[in-house]
Amino acid sequence: MTTLPLTPDYDAWPIEADLESVSVTPRLVTVQWSDGRVSRYHSIWLRENAADDTTVNPATRERILDLSMLPAWPEVEGAEIDAAGALCVDFAMEDRRLRFHPGWLRAHDYDNLHDADAPLVPVTTWQGGPEAGPDTLSAAGLLDTSPNSEAEEAILAPALASVLAKGLVRLRDLPTEPGSLESIARRIGPVRPTNFGQLFDVQAKPDPDSNAYTSIALPPHTDLPTREYHPGLQMLHCLENGVEGGQAVMLDGFAVAEALRERHPEAWATLTRVRWCYANTAKTTDYVWFEPMIRLDARGELLEVRIADFLRGPLQTTFEDVEPAYEALMTLQRLLRDPVFAIRFTYRPGDLVIFDNRRLLHARDAFEGSTGHRWLQGCYMERDEIRSRYRMIQRARRRRWVTAEA
């Protein structure tokens, strides 16, 4: 019996269309699918992405082939679709037949690709206002589910989707034991510790090493902009909240940036260009980084905002740029006060807010330390972890689909 070949990775690749025909030239393999689509694959691309054990270490499914060690450019002398529906390609020089899984081939059809690295979930910017609030989900029982179970997936999948799309989610009904954030966070991925520790406690403290650890109001900001790569995610977990004031305020930094681009194009241009100094020249550490306040990725999409007035060091730029930079900064500061952007909410014990720290701005009102306790525990994580966890959920769903079809 002929079975489908392995894929070069551990993912599951459902077959949404069958291979119907194939034709070759030495450097190109052209296939037609059962739904009419035509896809072309370069011989060298197929050679490097084969799943056999001259190409991939079977134990790790990591590549062992070094293309430049082949005696010449890999050329194809023939191809056919076999009884299992796999594409079989004969490579001339190596006298080797390699088989490709049709589901995998279809999923990596770069010839018909629109946007390879489109976000996993489309990004939607949002505004605030008195009626608005974060997507809110109950996470009751999360820590009782088995890791990677369907029960865990049912809680995490919509939460991760909200973070990917809107940069924010609020989970409710979680435990209020100090330290439980670490077990919760691990359901997604490893925590990124910093000089403030693995978990940090947001409370008014006697000898504060950050404005966050006082009871004063904090303006809208991203955390740790003083790092080359400031943390992609932040989690704030409420353990106690009996104070007057101290409301949480959150803004979509991408929405603010887009508004700036539209209404104040000169300020936008300045803030995407001038590199501000971010500095935390504290008692025992000294982090400094220079970066524009708004950054775009190679595709021209918003990559991050880096805003925190209390963590800016002295601007060090050309003499001519100083006044325009401050003009642009004040334009942004005024925009940040426009109530249309902000959502406001009060933390309840057991709430966990997960947000994209390179996109969302968070702030808080001043609170009265004497009227009760306000205790949040927080931690950081990379955006990579949320994407990996979300991909694993997608994979599990595809695998169930493949199994149900088989």
Residues 153-192 that bind its own copies (CB under 8 A): 189-192
CB of 136 to its own copies, least distance (A): 27
Q: Give the range of 160-168, 252-260, 317-325, 364-372 binding its own copies by CB under 8 A.
A: 317-325
**Nearer to its own copies (CB atom), residue 35 or residue 297:** 297
Residue list 350-379, contact with its own copies (CB under 8 A): none
The number of residues making up the chain comes to: 406
Six token digits for residue 28: 């190109």
Tell me which stretch binds its own copies (CB under 8 A): 247-255, 338-346, 349-357, 387-395.
387-395
Q: Look up residue 282 and give its amino acid.
A: A
Count of C-beta atoms within a 10 Å radius of residue 395: 15
CA distance 75 to 98: 12
Q: Would you give the binding string for its own copies spanning residues 210-249, x where CB under 8 A is met?
A: xx-xx-x--x------xxxx--x-----------------
Q: What is the largest CA-CA distance in the chain?
A: 81
* Minimum separation from the CB atom of position 233 to its own copies (A): 11
CB neighbourhood size of 143 (10 A): 15
Could you say which residues in the range 61-90 bind its own copies, by CB under 8 A?
61-69
281 part of the interface to its own copies, by CB under 8 A: yes
3-class secondary structure, 61: coil
Name which of residues 285 to 314 contact its own copies (CB under 8 A).
285-290, 298, 309-314
Q: How far is the CB of 224 from its own copies (least distance, A)?
A: 9
Dihedral class, residue 350 (left if φ above 0, else alpha if ψ from -120 to 50, else beta): left
Report the alpha-carbon distance of residue 234 to residue 230 in Å, rounded: 10
Residues 97-126 interacting with its own copies (rule: CB under 8 A) = 108, 110-111, 113, 116-117
Work out the angle at residue 230's Cα, subtended by the Cα atoms of residues 301 and 154, and round it to the nearest 5 degrees: 75
